[in-house]
Amino acid sequence: MKGKLKLITVLFFLTVVTYAQKVTISGTIKDKKTTETLIGVNIYIQELNTGTSTNEYGFYSLTVPTGNYTIKLSYLGFETIEETIELNQSIKIDFSLLESGESLEEVIVTSNKKRADIKNTEMSVNKLSIQTIKKIPVVLGEVDIIKSILQLPGVTNAGEGQSGFNVRGGSADQNLILLDEATVYNSSHLFGFFSVFNSDAIKDLKLYKGGIPARFGGRLSSVLDIYQKEGNKDDYKFSGGVGVISSRLMAEGPIEKGKGSFLIAGRASYGHLFLKLSDNKNSASFYDLNTKLNYSLNEKNKLFLSGYFGRDLFNLNNAFENTYGNTFTNLRWNHLYSDKLFSNMSMIYSDYYYGLKFGTLDFNWKSSIQNFNLKYDFKHYLGNSTNLTYGINSQYYSFNPGIIEPTDSNSGIIRKQLDKKFAFEPALYFDVNQNISEKLSINYGLRYSMFYRLGQQEVNIYANNQAVVFNPIFKIYEKATPIGIKSYNKNETIASFNNLEPRVAVTYVINNSQSIKASYNRMSQYLHLISNTQSPTPLDIWAPSDDFFKPQILDQVAIGYFRNFNDEDYSLEIETFYKKIKNRVDYIDGADLIANNSIEQTILNGKGRSYGVEMMLRKNSGKLSGWISYTLSRAEQQTPGRTEIETGINNGKWYKSGYDKLHNLSVTATYNRSDKWSFGSVFSLQSGQPVTFPDGQYEYGGIIVPSFGLRNENRLPTYHHLDLSATYIPKPKKQKGWQGEWIFSIYNVYNRQNAASINFQQNENTGANEAVKFSIFGIVPGITYNFKF
């Protein structure tokens, strides 16, 4: 007995000693010049071959044995530093990094290249620095985040002047766009010409195309995660720019020096003023405002308050006015329970508003979606090899599909409110990142999502629960006639769903320069954008899942090869993917989606699939840098008949979706000629957008009526253009006072007339049928002056 007690005592003593020999180093990493916290900084301890990265608030934590170590910090666009530290007890160390080209004292400084991340389990993820985005030439010289991510593999859009973007063959509504964790429902200004994101106010962005972490949910194809700057905690700073059609101004500074800061950034267009000078009574303009406050209560508690407000205004000869835009506010509380447990609670409100005024018709139209979101997230640093992320998320939705209000009591128009809809979407998740060995790492997680479609509403009842019926004589789908109505009280459940969404990603490191990665994720989407256009429009409305709009379910697998070579001067990323979607919404021929109170009478549930190969070859260093991205892919959907008699959509066959782009090539380059001059260029080439052209015609009652074949069996002509830019900094060495730069750009250098659409009509003179191409942009020069002080 005494021997056993002695053995237990020894084992206990060894356990205590072993535990005592472990210490934790934690802290925050910031930009030394701006005091902004940095997201995704790599922290690596060479002697232990272990490391971690900062979270969305710049926090890191590492638990290691006591000893002397060399710690290495690297971050895209910043100098990599190495510093020797002695760890004999748990300690909090904050680091500051400087942008490339500057220097630090008492540490080793090396160049940080945009190399491929070999060891991280993340794949199908792209990150662009704001410095890179600002060097990419775009139309009229306006820096545009959405247009910039179109240069990445697997990302396309419907063409020039089109809103939204498509990822791996998915529709635009399948992208979750977050700005400071708040959902952005419409990412475009001026119907797609510009994005809603003011680049001056943006700190970091990351695009997830696959291997999506379990903390994200609610959309199928991608997550675009964007964070605003926090503001300078030490000094008051101002920056802005004057462009061809818009200008912007940003102010930032300390609320209390070293503890809190503010940021406010505004942007407005003035192109409509030039129209007025030419007696043109039409106008189109936009404005937006970004704000952020943060304050450190103490070392363990921080508060953040973020906000955005944007509006687009369109006026057609005072007979038609259109106003739309996004609004959000987010109150966040960061709390550090210990040096290993970080938490963040967010209370978020966001909405999207759309309004129309018809002066000649004497009525107004308004629609909106409102979203209330409460989320609590935890990041638990369990040790060198294991990190755990977990949390809860609950969202409440209020949908107003439309209200018609007369502006004149004598107009004869009756006030009409389309049925408002309500929904509740809670979710739980956990995510584990684990290093199994030096060569093998795995990230696995699970999200459990629920969705409740709530009253108050009167819901149509249909025979066999089918809101669409098939006419076997004409072989077409038609609206079904309701056989009754069921009333639901406020907050009574109309329909409910729940789904388990597993996620897993694996990395096997072949050697220090190359690795193989694979991932699988399941996603559920309970919201649907009601639109039968290839690109979202401000008029499109959102609808919740119910007995007719089934939740969309996606399964995606991907495998990739990643390599750095030639001393990391070059990197190569190759991925192949396969996606399949259940309950993909499809519309019957002739679907009427505008102001339809029974929208279920226009849709059928089908399925979709997409697959392809993506390649990205990047040159990371030297005066000339950039990348070549190419995607070969296919996106299709199918809506078969529900019975043997029904033909389905497109005769029940697979057909190209509106987002199918077989070829997608982008070449992006930056050349730094000197401290004063730098140049940028982008060449883009995509397969034409799938469309349905008439394949014949017939005469009915003296009118020529076109007939159409199968859906999307035609294409618009191949889309391509070359863009150039030049940046001139008159005084590059100047670090204080007024600092300015000029940006000159030419969009579509060789004046390619890319087809936005092709219309078919009869020639008035000859009576012959003809195809007429409509193009938006030819060659477009631009100039912008940026400043800061």
Task: Characterize the bridge pairing of strands 237-242 and 246-256.
Answer: antiparallel
643: number of Cβ within 10 Å: 9
* Alpha carbon 287 to chain centroid, angstroms: 21
Residue 516 has phi, psi (to 5 degrees) of: -120, 135
Instruction: Report d(CA 20, CA 456) in Å as an integer.
Output: 60
User: Coil, strand, or helix at residue 418?
Assistant: coil
pLDDT in tens, 335-369: 999 999 999 999 999 999 999 888 777 888 899 99
Q: CA quadruple 563, 565, 568, 573: dihedral positive or negative?
A: negative
Task: Say if residues 779 and 749 touch (Cβ distance below 8 Å).
Answer: yes
Q: Facing residues of 569 across strands?
A: none
Q: Would the pLDDT of 139 be above 80?
A: no
Q: Would the pLDDT of 133 be above 80?
A: yes
Task: Say if residues 294 and 304 touch (Cβ distance below 8 Å).
Answer: yes
Q: How confident is the model at residue 490 (pLDDT cuts 50, 70, 90)?
A: very high
Q: Would the pLDDT of 531 be above 90?
A: no
Identify each DSSP E strand in 280-415 by its residue range.
Answer: 283-298, 301-316, 320-338, 341-358, 363-381, 386-406
Q: Would the pLDDT of 589 be above 60?
A: yes
CA angle 236, 241, 243 (to 5 degrees): 170
pTM, two decimal places = 0.92
**Which of 538, 133, 287, 533 has its CA nearest to residue 146?**
133
Q: Would the pLDDT of 15 be above 60?
A: no
Which bin fits 218, alpha (ψ -120 to 50), beta or left (φ > 0)?
left
Computed over every residue of the chain, the mean pLDDT equals 88
* Alpha carbon 257 to chain centroid, angstroms: 34
pLDDT of residue 100: 72
DSSP letter (8 states) at residue 594: T
Instruction: Report d(CA 770, CA 763) in Å as an integer.
Output: 6
Q: Which tops the pLDDT comparison, 553 or 319?
A: 553
**Residue 536 in tokens:** 């979202």
How many Cα atoms are found within 13 Å in the side-chain-facing hemisphere of 79?
Answer: 21
Q: Would the pLDDT of 477 be above 50?
A: yes
Q: CA quadruple 701, 705, 707, 708: dihedral positive or negative?
A: negative
Q: Would the pLDDT of 277 be above 90?
A: no
- pLDDT-wise least confident of 387-401, 408-422, 634-648: 408-422
pLDDT of residue 534: 67
Q: Would the pLDDT of 291 be above 90?
A: yes
**Which of 177, 152, 98 has its CA nearest to residue 527?**
177
CA distances to 23, 84, 91, 435 from 66, in Å: 6, 13, 11, 21
Task: Characterize the bridge pairing of strands 440-454 and 155-156.
Answer: unpaired
pLDDT of residue 149: 93
Place of tokens 């291997």: 211
Instruction: Report d(CA 369, CA 399) in Å as an integer.
Output: 5
Task: Say if residues 681 and 188 touch (Cβ distance below 8 Å).
Answer: no
* Alpha carbon 549 to chain centroid, angstroms: 24
Instruction: Report d(CA 576, CA 668) in Å as an integer.
Output: 22
Instruction: Report d(CA 752, CA 722) in Å as an integer.
Output: 9
Q: Would the pLDDT of 420 be above 60?
A: yes
**Residue 594 in tokens:** 């505008």
Report the run of H or E that residue 133 belongs to, with start and end.
Answer: helix 130-134
Instruction: Report d(CA 233, CA 34) in Å as an integer.
Output: 8
pLDDT in tens, 594-632: 778 888 999 999 999 999 999 999 998 889 999 999 999
pLDDT of residue 216: 97
- Mean pLDDT calculated for residue range 387-398: 96
User: Coil, strand, or helix at residue 199?
Assistant: helix
pLDDT of residue 443: 96
Q: Would the pLDDT of 105 be above 80?
A: no
**Which of 272, 273, 275, 228 has its CA nearest to residue 252?**
228
Instruction: Report d(CA 262, CA 121) in Å as an integer.
Output: 35
- pLDDT-wise least confident of 38-47, 487-496, 663-672: 38-47
DSSP letter (8 states) at residue 472: T
User: Coil, strand, or helix at residue 499?
Assistant: strand
Q: Would the pLDDT of 3 be above 70?
A: no
Total length of the chain: 789
- Mean pLDDT calculated for residue range 191-205: 89
Q: How confident is the model at residue 114 (pLDDT cuts 50, 70, 90)?
A: low
- pLDDT-wise least confident of 276-290, 450-464, 568-582: 276-290
pLDDT of residue 19: 43
DSSP letter (8 states) at residue 482: P
**Residue 93 in tokens:** 């160390």
pLDDT of residue 485: 94
User: Coil, strand, or helix at residue 273?
Assistant: helix
DSSP 519-582: EEEEEEE-EEEE--SSS--TT-EEEE--SSSPPEEEEEEEEEEEEEETTTTEEEEEEEEEEEEE
Task: Characterize the bridge pairing of strands 703-708 and 694-700.
Answer: antiparallel
Q: Which tops the pLDDT comparison, 721 or 18?
A: 721
Task: Characterize the bridge pairing of strands 416-417 and 386-406.
Answer: antiparallel
pLDDT in tens, 214-257: 999 999 999 999 999 999 999 999 999 999 889 999 999 999 99
- Mean pLDDT calculated for residue range 656-685: 94
- Mean pLDDT calculated for residue range 375-400: 93
Instruction: Report d(CA 410, CA 575) in Å as an integer.
Output: 63
DSSP letter (8 states) at residue 649: B
pLDDT of residue 18: 43
- Mean pLDDT calculated for residue range 27-53: 88
Percent of the chain at pLDDT above 90? Answer: 61
Instruction: Report d(CA 542, CA 605) in Å as an integer.
Output: 16
Residues 6+ apart with CB under 8 A from 419: 401, 457, 458, 597
**Which of 228, 239, 145 has its CA nearest to residue 181?**
228
pLDDT of residue 176: 96
Instruction: Report d(CA 616, CA 631) in Å as an integer.
Output: 9
CA angle 140, 626, 117 (to 5 degrees): 125
- Mean pLDDT calculated for residue range 760-769: 78
pLDDT in tens, 175-187: 999 999 999 999 9
- Mean pLDDT calculated for residue range 47-55: 86
Residue 418 has phi, psi (to 5 degrees) of: -65, 150
Q: Would the pLDDT of 13 be above 60?
A: no
